[in-house]
Amino acid sequence: MLGFEIAIDRLRSDAAPEARARVPRNHLDDRTPRRPACPMAERELQAYYARDEERDRLSVGVGRVEYLRTVEVVSRTIPPPPAVVADIGGGPGRYTDWLVDAGYTVIHRDLVARHVDEVSARHAQAVDARVGDARSLDLPDEAVDAVLLLGPLYHLEDGVDRAKALSEARRIVRSGGRVYVAAISRWAPRLDGVLVQRYHPKHSAILDMVDEAEATGEMRPVHHNSFNGYAHTPASLRGEVQRSGLLLESLVAVEGIAFALADLDERLADADERALLLDTLRAVEAVPDLMGLGPHLLATARQP
């Protein structure tokens, strides 16, 4: 996701968790991965990622802060390697790369074939990378020790779909395993998209979109090459995770105020300044009054 652009380019439910049948863990299903249907929303998603701007997003600026902070938060509770981690909605695989380098066995699934191909090209047989839909995974119950769900909720406008994705993450993780769930903050369109990134001179529709997005969470496309998305309040993310049957352990702001720092790259290039920045973000990451300020939220939840 391009800082906010994906947010402006990007998605209600009280569905109960599904009953689950148990099968032995770490026993991968040999069914052919389900190729998802391709309704309008998915065509928009495919077109968006065909722009190939996702690959380097986490390397610079606020994307780099997103990456560093996500690795930091996940590292607090993920079991040590060797363990099996599913990177669902793994995109071009930056977190998959991190996990492989750290010694984990990684399963990568994404709706976009191009992303899967990139991961396969880098990791060959070492990563089980396939096209797959977070709402209907080709993995058996309790197959993995942890799940990263860092992206699908941005794109799933319908709460029933978000509930399915969370339910699937819960189903495939073993008892006691963690699920890490990222979401776009409800106020990102206004604070990041308009105020910081100034999308409005080029895409004036964003000025009409922000009020509705803040009222409903639904982010309408603001130009032809974009798609619907969903932005969470801290309370709505908390509620959706809890209704999935997972136990919410923590909810933090990922980048916090960093997205608004004009000299962010300079700070990141200086070891002392970078450490001060990350210390500051950590110190206020769970302060309720500040939680929705930054672009992303990250929930850590546990399978009971």
Ligand X SMILES: C[S@@+](CC[C@H](N)C(=O)[O-])C[C@H]1O[C@@H](n2cnc3c(N)ncnc32)[C@H](O)[C@@H]1O
Buried b (16+ CB within 10 A) or exposed e, 205-233: ebeebbeebbeebbbbbbeeebbbbbbbb
Helix pair 94-102, 113-123: axis angle to 10 deg: 30
Answer yes or no whether residue 61 interacts with ligand X by CB under 6 A: no
Shortest distance, position 289 Cβ to ligand X, whole Å: 26
Q: Which residues between 137 and 176 bind ligand X (CB under 6 A)?
A: 150-152, 154-155
Task: Single out the residue of 5, 9, 133, 157 in contact with ligand X (rule: CB under 6 A).
Answer: 133
Answer yes or no whether residue 49 interacts with ligand X by CB under 6 A: yes
Shortest distance, position 92 Cβ to ligand X, whole Å: 7
Do 253 and 62 contact (CB within 8 A), yes or no?
no
Task: Single out the residue of 9, 64, 85, 90 in contact with ligand X (rule: CB under 6 A).
Answer: 90
Answer yes or no whether residue 199 interacts with ligand X by CB under 6 A: no
Closer CB to ligand X, 83 or 116, in the complex: 116
Do 268 and 65 contact (CB within 8 A), yes or no?
yes
In sequence order, what are the beta bridge partners of 182?
Answer: 298
What distance in Å separates the CA atoms of residue 34 and residue 32, rounded to the nearest whole number?
6
Answer yes or no whether residue 8 interacts with ligand X by CB under 6 A: no
Shortest distance, position 87 Cβ to ligand X, whole Å: 7
Three-class SS state of 87:
strand
Within the chain, residue ranges assigned H as helices are: 5-9, 40-49, 61-75, 94-102, 113-123, 152-155, 159-172, 188, 205-216, 234-243, 264-269, 271-283
Answer yes or no whether residue 89 interacts with ligand X by CB under 6 A: yes
Answer yes or no whether residue 116 interacts with ligand X by CB under 6 A: no
Answer yes or no whether residue 135 interacts with ligand X by CB under 6 A: yes
Shortest distance, position 276 Cβ to ligand X, whole Å: 25
Question: What mask, x for binding ligand X by CB under 6 A, covers residues 29 to 48?
Answer: ----------------x---
What distance in Å separates the CA atoms of residue 150 and residue 202, rounded to the nearest whole number?
28
> Would you tell me which residues interact with ligand X (CB under 6 A)?
1, 6, 45, 49, 54, 58, 89-91, 94-95, 109-112, 115, 133-135, 150-152, 154-155
